[in-house]
Amino acid sequence: MVTVYVYILDTLVDWELGHVISELKSGRFFKKDAQRIALKTVSCSNDVDHFLRTT
């Protein structure tokens, strides 16, 4: 499994990553035997919940 880290900024809006994340999760453009993607969010702030609530 491949891990993709998404750095969350307080100025980030959901549509900026929405298309990319949905394609990573669907895997429709990957080879049939390609590894699956694990998505992890990271931030330098402890207030990531604020981002998730407001978008």
CA dist., res. 31 & res. 50, Å (int): 36
CA dist., res. 51 & res. 41, Å (int): 11
The residue whose two tokens read 């604020």 is 50
Which pLDDT value is given to residue 37? 86
Which structural domain, as residue segments, surrounds residue 27? 2-54
How does pLDDT run across 2-47, given as a tens digit for each residue? 898 888 777 777 777 888 888 888 888 888 898 888 888 887 776 6
pTM of the shown model: 0.60
In sequence order, the β-bridge partners of residue 37 are 2
CA dist., res. 43 & res. 55, Å (int): 16
Contact status, residue 17 vs residue 8, Cβ threshold 8 Å:
no
How many structural domains are present in the chain?
1
